[in-house]
């Protein structure tokens, strides 16, 4: 979630649309994770994404290749965001 071109609200809306199609999804192949993921991961990402959007996630500031970022820890995911 870096830069103004990113939209956390858009991410949550996309997950909500995916959830509507859950019955047609067998596997999820994200770019980061053990692969494949099952369809229950949609709800997990949605829960954490909504919590991040509402400012409920705790975070710590860390250094990532010389850049300070917030590592926001959800129940299932860690989101890296601009500091």
Whether this model's pTM surpasses 0.85 = no
Average pLDDT over residues 10-20: 94
Residue 2: pLDDT over 70: no
Q: What does the domain layout of the chain look like in residue ranges?
A: 8-82
Tens of pLDDT, residues 22-75: 889 888 888 877 789 888 889 999 999 999 999 999 999 999 889 999 999 999
Residues paired with residue 62 on neighbouring β-strands, in sequence order: 69
- CA separation for the pair 10, 19 (Å, rounded): 14
Please enumerate in sequence order all residues whose Cβ is within 8 A of that of 42, keeping only pairs 6 or more positions apart, or say none.
Answer: 15, 18, 19, 22, 25, 28
Question: What is the model's pLDDT at position 38?
Answer: 84
């Amino acid at each position: 979630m870096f830069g103004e071109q990113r939209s956390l609200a858009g991410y949550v809306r996309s997950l909500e649309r995916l959830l509507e199609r859950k019955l047609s999804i067998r596997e999820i192949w994200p770019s980061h994770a053990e692969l494949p993921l099952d369809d229950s991961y949609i709800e997990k990402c949605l829960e954490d994404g909504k919590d991040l959007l509402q400012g409920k996630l705790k975070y710590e500031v860390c250094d990532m290749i010389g850049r300070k970022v917030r590592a926001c820890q959800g129940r299932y995911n860690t989101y890296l965001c601009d500091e």
